[in-house]
Amino acid sequence: MVEDNVIAKEDKNGNNKEIFQLNAKVLDINADVDVVILNNMFAKFYGITNSSKVLIKSNGNEIAALVDTSSTLIKENEIGIFKNFAEEYNISDNSLITVMLLPFAESIDLIKKKLNKEELTEQEFKIIVDDLINNKIGLIEVSAFITALYTNGMTDEEILGMTNAILSTGKALDLKTDLVVDKHCIGGVAGNRTTMIIVPIIASLGIYFPKTSSRSITSASGTADTFETIANVSYSLGEMEEIVKKTHGCIVWGGSLNLAAADDRLIKIRHPLKLDPEELLLASILAKKKSVNAKHLVIDIPIGTGAKIADIHQAKKLGNKFEVLGKRLGINTKAIITDGSSPVGYGVGPALECLDVLRVLDNSKHANKFLREKGCYLAGKLLEMIGYCERNKGYEIAYKTIETGKALKKFREIVAAQGGKEDINENDLPKAKYSAPLLAKNKGKILYINNRTISQIARIAGAPNDKAAGVYLYVTSGDVIKQNHCILDIFSNSETKLTAALKYAENNPPLVIKDFIV
C-alpha cells in the first residue's frame, strides 16, 4: 500500500507535508542533472508529477532533485537513484531514503525576472541564495540563474547585493584588528604560486594574513593543492583563527571553512558550464575577502596569450570595478595588471610548484627570478597600502625578508603550525617515479610559453591528484635555444600517463619561437 511509506504528515515547522521513507534502487545509468524516479502509482496517489521537486535525505546529505516517474522500473516502496548520483552521495541499494515534496520556490520567479533583464534587489538575491543553500532549487534553476547573469550582466548595486547575499550564508573570521590583508589572483597562469611567497613575507613583519585558497578545478594545481604537499590545509574556522593568531599567517583550503558557503556551490556549477560571469566573479571574490574581514586587498590580474584575460582594456575595466566595489565594502583594494603571457615559475604541478617556492624563500641559485620578483612586488604593494613604508619602498623591504631568511623562517613556522615539518626543505617533497624530457625541434628565441598547453600536459601526467606529477621548465620567455635543447621534463607516478603526456606535448608544442613552433 502506498500509504505505508508515509512516516510523517508535517514537517518540523508544523506545515502540512507528507514525508516518505523509500528504499533506494540504484540504476546502472547516469544522469546529467539531479533527478530521481518514483513509481507512477505512488506519485499519482500523492499528487506528485513529472518535474515536481523533492528533497531527499541520505547519509547526512540533503539534496534537491527533480522527479521522473515510471510504472515498470520502480516499485511503490522504492525510489530510483541514478548511478552517478548514488556514487556522489554514497547511496547503495535498499538504503532508506527520506523524501519530502518541496513547494514551489519563490526564487524561481526571481530567476525568471533576471532572465527578463530586470534588476534584482539585495533581498531578492538573498532569497535565491537561501533557496540554493537550503536545497529548494537545484542544478537546473541555478544554471538558469548563472545564464541570466552571464547574458544580462549586473549593475554595481546588484554585484554588492549578491556579495552581501553570499556573505550571509557563511561564517566570518574576526581577528579584531584592522591590520588584516589579503590577495587574490584572477588565475590562468601556470606556476603562479606567489601566495606562498607573499604570506610569509607579510606575516614575518607582524601583519595578519589569513589566506584562504582554492584547489584546482581546471589547472594543474591550486595553491591549496601545492601547500598540501607539505602541510595540512583542511581546518575549521576556529582552528584557522588559532593558527593565524599564533603565526600571523596561514594558507588553508577555503572549502573546509564554511566562509561564504553559497559561493562554493555556485563554483561547482559555474565551471562545468564554462560560464563565469564577470560580475559574479567580482561578487564571489569580494565576499570571500570580506568574510575574513580583510581591510587591504591586492588583486593580481595577469594578461596575455593563454591567460584568462588577454586584453589590457578589459583588465583595466575589471581592476577599476574591484577597486570601486571593494571601497564600498570597506576594503582598500588595489588591482595590479601583470604579465600572464607565460608561466611564472619553472614548476607546474603541486610538488614542483612547491619546489619553486622553497627555492625562492631559501635564496637558492636555482630559484626562479620572475616568481621571486613578482612575489616581492605584490607583497611590497600591500606594505605600501597599509602605510608600513613609503611609496616605492615596499619591494625593497619584501625582498630583504627573503634575503635575510626572515620569510623562510616564518614560512616554516606556518608549515609547522599546519602539521608539517618544522625544518621543511625541498628534499621533503614527493618525488615522481618516472620522467621524460621534451626536446626543442628548432632553434630560436622563445616568444612565449602557452599556459594552457603546459597546464594540460601536467594534468595528463596526473596533476593535481598525483602530487608529484607535472612539468618542470628549463626555459623562460626571451631565452635563445638550440635544436634538441631540453625544454622541460614531465614527471608522473604512472608510466601510462607519462607516455600520454609526452605524446600530447609533442603534438601540441608549448613554446612559440619567433616564426617557428617548437
C-alpha to C-alpha distance for 309 and 322, rounded to whole angstroms: 15
Burial class (CB in 10 A: 0-12, 13-18, 19+), 72: exposed
Residues tagged active-site: 276
Q: Where are the alpha helices (DSSP H) in 172-260?
A: 195-203, 223-227, 237-247
SS3 string, 264-299, reads HHHHHHHHHHCCCCHHHHHHHHHHHHHHCCCCEEEE
Residues 6+ apart with CB under 8 A from 345: 190, 191, 192, 193, 353, 356, 368, 370, 371
Instruction: For 158, list phi and psi in degrees, rounded to 5.
Output: -70, -40
Residues 6+ apart with CB under 8 A from 105: 53, 131, 136, 137, 141
Residue with cell 579584531: 176
In three-state secondary structure terms, 176 is coil
Cα-based angle 64, 68, 69 (whole degrees, multiple of 5):
135
Task: Describe the strand order of the beta sheet including 347-348 as a list of residue ranges.
Answer: 347-348, 470-473, 486-492, 434-439
> 427, 355 in Cβ contact below 8 A?
no
Residue with cell 527520506: 98
- How far CA 399 is from CA of 251, 373, 402, 424, in Å, comes to 20, 8, 5, 21
